[in-house]
Structure 1
Amino acid sequence: MSGRALAAVLATLAAVTTTLTGCSADRGDSDTLRVLLANFPANNQGQAVYDDIVDIFHESYPDVKVEADFVPYDNLNAKIATSLAAGTTYDVISAGVGWIQPLAGLGAIGSLEDDGFSTEQLEETVYPSFIPPMLQDGELYGVPIVANPRVLAYSRSAFEAAGLDPDSPPRDFDELVADAQALTEHDADGNITQAGFDFWAKPSGYRQQFVAFLGAAGGTLFDDTEPRFDGPEGERALSTMRDLIADGSSQYGYQNTAQTALVTAGQAGMGFASPYVDCSEGEGGIGADKCDDLVYFSLEDEQSAMFTGGRIAAMGAQSELPDAAAAFIRAMQDPATQEAISVMDVGVPVDKAAADSDFVRGNPASTYAVDHLDSAIMEYGGTNFLEFRSAGGWALDEALLGQTSPEDALSALADLSRTRT
């Protein structure tokens, strides 16, 4: 979305926010639950997962119809702005981890504290790192459904070929850069045949990777609504990413035709990867030998960090069916639903009880991801987080490509992220 388009959407959101207090939507059929599902694929798989959620919900509310809208994340804020302006608010909104505070600040979602949910209850079932992103002003505004980690992996055989110890992953940023240089291979014409490090990112798509490096450097995105990513930790994180690109260890914006992680495809010695890898010998699988060759690890510098996104569920602030909305949210929390959405989202369940499930333990990447959710670094912030989300890609690219310094790029991005504090 362009800066001008974003500004228009944000202006619409700001305008409709003022109409929410004391306003009740004209719902039409009061026995219809309206649900907004972000990044829920409108295909056979998405429909099947959705149908199963509705079936679980209908066990408690058989007479309540469910009407769902599926939208991509890039259209989510505009969709909500339009619905609020039209007075047709949603009862349940499922979005990404970073959307809780912006949606709460806009009045689109409300506290769950009076609807049978509590922080104490959540602390018993999910990993501690998932609690803060669910809170607004100390109250619970959403619940996590699945986690979407980006794990790191390296090829044991590539390490050995480069003269590196395959049992010793890089322990800090300096070692990461040095190992990436050693792993990079070229043909006789100087073309890269094996990248040393793969960010698994398209142009302007390095935002989540920056969050991972920022967390490893000991930094954080926001302190409430105040940006904190423009401090020395952020500069070190972005400088390290720039160095990996500048020295040729990483190919800026390169993705293979399948858009899969290069390290799992055998095209990079090390890099970001999915929390699921198909180890089968059939079509789409990488085979048992390649699976055994991959070693998973987390970024480290000042601390261990694993970037983790995820899906949340929240209740519409103006819902006239709060009990039914709460039941639909619980249907999304159901263990079977978490597993089904994890498959669809390429993620892992957030419930601690799922840690030893066959779904998790049947895959080495999923096993590593779940075992390290305690070091999850998430992309969220204050009510103005959407500015960072929208502008972060191109702002970071300017530094990654040497068009500006990391300090200046982050300073400009932080100023933009203060525009709605």
Structure 2
Amino acid sequence: MKRSTALAATAALAASIALVASGCSATSAGSSDGSSSHPVTLTFWGSYGNGGNSAQQDALNKTLIPAFEKANPGITVNYVDIPYDSLHQKLTTSAAGGTLPDLVRSDIGWVPQLAQLGVLTPLSTSMSDFGALSKAVYPGTLTTNKYKGKYYGLPLDTNTRVLITSQKALDAAGMSTPPKTFDDLKQMAAKLKGTGVSVFADGGLGGWNLFPWIWSNGGEITNGSLTKASGYLDGSKSVAAVQMLVDLYKEGQIPNLITGNQGATSTSDGLPTGKYATILDGPWMKAIWAGQYKDFQPIYAPMPKGDGASTSVVGGEDIVLTATSKNQAAAEKFIRFTQSEKFQIEMAKTGQMTVVPAFASKQAAIDPYFTTFADQLKTAKSRLAIPQGDKVDGILNAALVPAFTGTTSVKDALATAAQQIDPLLTGK
């Protein structure tokens, strides 16, 4: 996003948030807007407490919800925390029974599934200020909400993967900086040959793992309308990206963790113990290593690039409004609030990444650690935002393991995967 566009979008967003703070709404008024004469209670489901993270729940319940309720008399927000592993099933069951809450903090992969079921309100048509709100967030995070031309939510928090290495690995390879290109990575592999250190490691062959390599080499997963993978996933630049990984694997420079060997050392252990020189991972690794490898000093860098720009993959959660909510206007007020600096920066203090690039500098002031990830998010892309997106990883893994083990070519493997993904895109 250009700076001028970002500033304009942020200004529009600020104006929209100001309306919420003053008790007004950019949408229709009436009893459903939470006016004092018709108080409403919004029910909000999410998994902020997943993994015992009390900091995020405390920020929401003790600071953010009270601030919203104070600015919007007559609206009460009842947050219900549900374990992540149970939330998807509860949403599916509740959708069938017509008992969904007003708002949901949804995994990005669930939004198209819920949209297909017809249980979400498309925010791009219901919110008059959606244009300003959508322009203020990272483009890749916004895409996770798109289904059949409409946007059914807005990004709530985000993350991405970047290259992580160590000074020990760089010294072993005689390098002063992390590999910036595919060629740099291959040169690093050559210098590490015979040292017992693998140049790169990852834990699978799904979209989360492979798509950054394909995009960074100028390849694509599908056409622009998200209706066809054949000719794109198996296009020449996509094939070349995966072929590089296969070549490194066959040279012993990528461990068989990538093909599903559960006995191999994990990436979170292999990098700090010196078994692996580089990995791709997310912002959550800081807390993991702080607890397990206190003396380890990771070095964070952008995703290496081939014939394309450095591009990684988007993770995180979105906020969606259910179609059965009887408090649509009030719920939209809370959605606007989640996009505000108040909400985003308060959550950044708990370790979440803001979805609004204009707030990235304030996020970095809290912890400079997030800077590399925020920079990577400027170009990061969404995985396939389709109802059956969870099947794509299985297809990719099944098709590509034979390419890594040498029983088929990369071109044939990606063609096979593309042919199986095509029907998922069209729903046939």
TM-score (norm 1): 0.75
Shift of 1:212: 0.8
Aligned with 1:120: secondary structure? Answer: helix
Alpha carbons 2:200, 2:254 under 8 Å: kept: yes
Is structure 2 residue 185 aligned with structure 1 residue 179?
Answer: no
Question: What are the within-5 Å matches in structure 2 for residues 284-299 of structure 1?
Answer: 284=292, 286-287=294-295, 290-291=297-298, 294=299, 296-299=301-304
Q: Partner of 1:34 in structure 2? A: 43
Aligned pairs for 1:2-401 within 5 A:
31-37=40-46, 40-41=49-50, 43=52, 44-52=54-62, 53-59=64-70, 60=72, 64=76, 66=78, 68-72=80-84, 77-112=88-123, 113-123=125-135, 125-163=136-174, 165-167=175-177, 169-172=179-182, 174-183=183-192, 186=195, 192=196, 194-199=197-202, 201=203, 204=204, 206-223=206-223, 224-227=226-229, 228-253=232-257, 260=268, 262-263=270-271, 266-275=274-283, 278=286, 284=292, 286-287=294-295, 290-291=297-298, 294=299, 296-303=301-308, 304-339=310-345, 341-342=347-348, 347-357=352-362, 359-361=363-365, 363=367, 365-389=369-393, 391-401=395-405
Structure 2: distance between partners of 1:335 and 1:278: 24
Instruction: Note the C-alpha offset of 1:260.
Output: 2.2
* SS of equivalent to 2:336: helix
Q: Return the offset for 1:152.
A: 0.5
Aligned position for 1:407: 411
Letter in 1 for 2:249: I
Aligned residue in 2 for 1:4: none
Distance 1:355 1:242 in 2: 36
Tell me the C-alpha RMSD between the 2 structures.
3.5
Deviations 1:99-140 (A, max 9, x none): 4333322213221132354123321x2233434333334433
Between the aligned partners of 2:215 and 2:191, the Cα distance in structure 1 is 25
Give ranges in structure 1 of 5+ residues lacking alignment: 1-29, 187-191
Aligned twin of 1:10: none
Give the residue type in structure 2 aligned to 1:388.
V
- Where is the helix percentage greater, Structure 1 or Structure 2? 2
Contact 1:225 1:384 in 2 (8 A): no
Aligned residues: 374
Q: Secondary structure at the match of 2:45?
A: strand
* Offset of residue 379 of structure 1: 1.4
2:233–2:414 Cα contact (<8 Å) kept: yes
Aligned to 1:196, the other structure's residue is in SS state: coil
Change (3 A) 1:278 1:88: closer
C-alpha distance 286-217 of structure 1, shift in aligned 2 (>3 A): same
DSSP-derived class of the 1:64 partner: strand
| Distance (Å, rounded) in 2 between the aligned partners of 1:61 and 1:206 | 47
Cα distance in 2 for partners of 1:414, 1:76 equals: 30
Opposite residue 147 of structure 2, the aligned amino acid is Q
Tell me whether 390-399 or 90-99 shows the greater mean CA deviation.
Answer: 390-399
Change (3 A) 1:355 1:246: same
CA contact (8 A) 1:198 1:250 kept: yes
Query: Which secondary structure state, in structure 2, belongs to the residue aligned with residue 145 of structure 1?
Result: strand
State the Cα distance separating 1:45 from its structure 2 match.
3.5
Partner-residue secondary structure (3-state), 1:350: coil
Q: C-alpha displacement at 1:301, in angstroms?
A: 0.8
Query: What letter corresponds to residue 220 of structure 2 in structure 1?
Result: T
For the residue of structure 2 that corresponds to 1:94, the secondary structure is: strand
Q: Does structure 2 retain, via aligned residues, the 8 Å contact 1:276–1:363?
A: no
CA distance in 1, matches of 2:240, 2:191: 21
Secondary structure, in 3 states, of the residue corresponding to 2:233? coil
Q: Which amino acid aligns with 1:249?
A: Q
What is the SS of the residue equivalent to 2:311? strand
After superposition, what is the alpha-carbon deviation per residue over 1:4-58, rounded to whole angstroms, capped at 9, x for unaligned? xxxxxxxxxxxxxxxxxxxxxxxxxx95533332575163345324424433443
Q: 8 Å contact 1:56–1:331 — kept in the other structure? A: no
Conserved 8 A contact 2:102-2:324: yes
Distance across 1 between alignment mates of 2:343 and 2:407: 45
Paired residue type of 1:380: L
Identity value in percent? 22
Q: Aligned partners of 2:171 and 2:83: how far apart in 1?
A: 45
Compared with structure 1, are the counterparts of its residues 166 and 42 closer, same or farther at alpha carbon in structure 2 (3 Å cutoff)? closer
Residue 38 and residue 290 in structure 1: after superposition, are their counterparts in 2 closer, same or farther (change >3 A)? closer
Separation of aligned partners in 1, 2:51 and 2:89: 19
TM-score, normalised with respect to structure 2:
0.74
